[in-house]
Amino acid sequence: MIYEPAEDSELLLRAALKEVKKDDTVIEIGAGSGFVAENLVDKCSFLLTTDISPFAVRELKKKKLNVIRTDIAKGVKKKFSLVLFNPPYLELENELKRGFWEDCSINGGKEGIEVISKFLDTLRDFMDKKGRAIIVVSSLNPRVFDEIKKRGFIFEIIDEEKLFFEKLYAVKILLPE
């Protein structure tokens, strides 16, 4: 019911540790087990986690992390200097679907782009103008880069992890100056 840390989680943490500054306000979207957040909480001025799953929210509260149960960051009014997200980035085939709560952490929606698109569409609502976001994406879904550009963001790949069937990328997203 909660996404357990895997190579993508470790990639996000590695990229976040290189990027985070002591004065950053950080939000981790879809924090799941809290693996990334609990390793960053003492390295920034404030950290908030969100998750859509009540099971993940319960786990995050157990770890004493600031958490809001919401979809992406809906209803969050604060702006953050560092936004982190390890989204579901592939489409889950129908025969693998088990139910909403089980699937929401691993199903990126049609073509694996729906959740990422929703995130990109709302990113300006909760990221500082000079802020930066880091998301994890898969080489199996190169359309993500077009979606980032289409929304007027600039990006760079800041880290990667090679797996046997794909590459995972940590992508830093910025607003143009």
Instruction: For each of the domains in the chain, give its residue range(s) and CATH number, in order of start.
Output: 7-174 (3.40.50.150)
- Comparing 101 with 25, the larger pLDDT belongs to 25
Torsion over CA: 146, 171, 38, 101 (sign): positive
Torsion over CA: 50, 52, 58, 63 (sign): negative
pLDDT of residue 106: 52
Average pLDDT, the chain: 88
Residue pair 141/108 in contact (Cβ under 8 Å)? The answer is yes
Strand partners, 80: 127
The three-class DSSP label of residue 118 is helix
Q: What distance in Å separates the CA atoms of residue 37 and residue 31, rounded to the nearest whole number?
A: 7
pLDDT tens string 109-155: 566 678 899 999 999 999 999 999 999 998 888 899 999 999 999 99
Residue pair 46/26 in contact (Cβ under 8 Å)? The answer is yes
pLDDT of residue 97: 43
Distance from the Cα of residue 61 to its chain's centroid: 19
pLDDT of residue 140: 86
User: In the chain, count of helices (H) and strands (E)?
Assistant: 6, 7
Mean pLDDT across 92-121? 62
Band of residue 91 on the pLDDT scale cut at 50, 70, 90: low
Mean pLDDT across 86-115? 58
Assign residue 76 a region: left if phi > 0, alpha if psi is -120 to 50, beta otherwise?
beta
What is the C-alpha radius of gyration for the chain, rounded to an integer number of angstroms? Answer: 15
Nearest to 51 by CA among 36, 29, 34: 29
Q: Containing H/E element for 168?
A: strand 167-174
